[in-house]
Amino acid sequence: MTMSRFACLLAACLGMGATAPASARSLDEILRAGELRVGVNPTLPPRALFNEKNEIDGFEPELAKAVADKLGVKLTLVQVGSPDRIPFVVADKVDLVMGAMSRTSERAKVIDFTAPIHSENYGIVTTDAKPFTKLADLNSESVTLIQVRGTTAIPFIQKNLPKAKLVLLDNYNDRDRALAQGRGDASFDGIDAVAYRLKIFPAIKWKVVATPEYGVTYSSFGVAKGNHGLRDWLNIALYELHTAGTVEAIWEKWFLKPMDTKVPVTPYF
C-alpha cells in the first residue's frame, strides 16, 4: 500500500471525508441516489443484532428492507449507538434512524417522527422463585433491582420505588447476565425483547410480569427536522405495511410473540 492510499484509508476511518454543512436528503435526492441509509443499533437484539454470519440483521433491518423495497432503492444499514443515533440523523449520515426510537416530546424538538412502528411495553423481569406481581412489590429494602444506566426507568424507580436497592450496569446484555447469575432480584424495563434475549439462559426459569400501570410508549422512524417529504412518504408506507400485516409478521418472527399492545392504524395522519 502506498503512503497516499494509506492516508486516504486513515482519512476515511477518521470520518474526515465530507464535513460539509449537514442538510438532510429529500425524498427526491434519495430516489436519485438509489440508496436509503438507515441507522440501526445492533446491540439491541432482536431489534437489530449480528446474525450467524455477523452481519446486521433483526426486526429493524428487515422492516427497513421492506421500506426500501417500497421506495425501489437499495438499503444501506449504518451502525449507530444509543448516544449518537440522533446526531447521526442530524448530521445527515443516515436518512432515517431506528434503534428503539421512542417518541418523546423532548426528542421531537430535535428530529421529526413518523407514525408509530410498534408499541413499547414495560414490566418486571424476574425469576420464577420471586413473588412479585406488580410494581409496588418492588418497593422494599430487601429488593435489589438491576437496571441499565441512563435509561428512563431509573428516574421512575427513584421516585416511585425509593426503598429498592439499585445496581446500575452498562448495557442490557450485562443486565440479563447479572440477573441470570442472581446478582439481583428483578429489573423493571421494557419487556418486548426479553422472550428473545433470555433464550440464551435456558437453565433459568424466568418470569415476566407486565405492568400496564406504567403505560405504553411508541417507537417510530426518526428523520431530520423539517424533512417532511420523507416523513409523509414513510407514514403512507407504514400504513400499507401495517394493514398488510407485514410489520406484525416481522415483529413475531424476531420477538417470538405478538406485539403486546397493538398499534391502532388509521388512514389519517
Residues of the shown chain interacting with another protein in the complex, contacts defined by CB under 8 A: 10, 13-16, 18-19, 22, 42-43, 45, 49-50, 52-54, 79, 81, 83-84, 87, 90-91, 93, 149-151, 154-155, 167-171, 173-174, 177, 181-183, 199-200
Residues 6+ apart with CB under 8 A from 223: 24, 89, 95, 96, 97, 111, 112, 113, 114, 230, 231, 234
**In whole angstroms, how close is the CB of 265 to another protein at the nearest point?**
33
CA atoms within a 13 Å half-sphere pointing along the CA-CB vector of 267: 0
Q: Least distance in Å: CB of 67 to another protein?
A: 24
Question: Minimum distance between the CB of residue 254 and another protein, rounded to whole angstroms?
Answer: 14
Cα 213 to its chain centre, rounded Å, is: 22
Closest to another protein by CB, 82 or 235:
82
* 83 vs 264 by CB, closer to another protein: 83
Distance, CA of 223 to CA of 25 (rounded, Å): 10
Q: Tell me whether residue 83 or residue 267 sits nearer to another protein (CB atom).
A: 83
Q: Which of 112, 134, 268, 230 is nearest to 188 (CA)?
A: 134
Between residues 244 and 256, which has the closer beta carbon with respect to another protein? 256
| Minimum gap (Å) between residue 139 Cβ and another protein | 20
- Residue closer to another protein by CB (options 195, 210) is 195
What are the cell numbers at 28? 427526491
DSSP 129: T
Q: Closest approach of Cβ 177 to another protein, in Å? A: 6
Q: Which residue has 428530529 as its cell numbers? A: 111
